[in-house]
Amino acid sequence: MSLGKRIKKLRRDAKLTQKDLSTKLDVDHTTVSKWEADIYEPNAETLDKLATLFSTSVDRLLGRSDELLVTQSEDQKKIEKDEAGFGRAFFGGADNYTEEELEVARAAARAAVEALRKVRNQQDNKK
């Protein structure tokens, strides 16, 4: 997927018009149109602003990484919020496990979520 198509997808996912995005980035709305058509590419400063705005990385925008978010997604926030209780209900009580065992379970859960995101991303890229 090209940079322009990634920008367009992220913009649409954020329910922004080209005009909305251009206003947030302080660029002309025709510039956004030209990015999305792969006529022009945003400069480094604007790429950084786009990454921040869409909670992603510049590498992801440029297609160099499968990393989806550089800030915490709602899923990640929920996982971390639930980590305080991780093992208590599902595994019969945190006191039945060492902190090291709980950390292994947390890491496995994070890896599973990231694998799911990667699959979803690949499916989105095929569209």
Look up the pTM and report it.
Answer: 0.52
Task: Return d(Cα 61, Cα 54) in angstroms, integer.
Answer: 10
Q: For tokens 């690949």, what's the residue?
A: 122
Residue 88's pLDDT is 46
CA 76 to each of CA 13, 14, 48, 114: distance values in angstroms, whole numbers, following the listed order: 19, 19, 22, 10
Residue 74's pLDDT is 55
Residue 27's pLDDT is 92
Task: Output the average pLDDT for the chain.
Answer: 77
Residues (pLDDT < 70) of the chain are 66-97, 102, 127
Burial 59-68 (b: 16+ CB within 10 A, else e): ebbeeeeeee
Q: Where are the domains of the chain?
A: 3-61, 74-126
> CATH assignment of 3-61?
1.10.260.40
Q: What are phi and psi of 56, to 5 degrees?
A: -140, -170
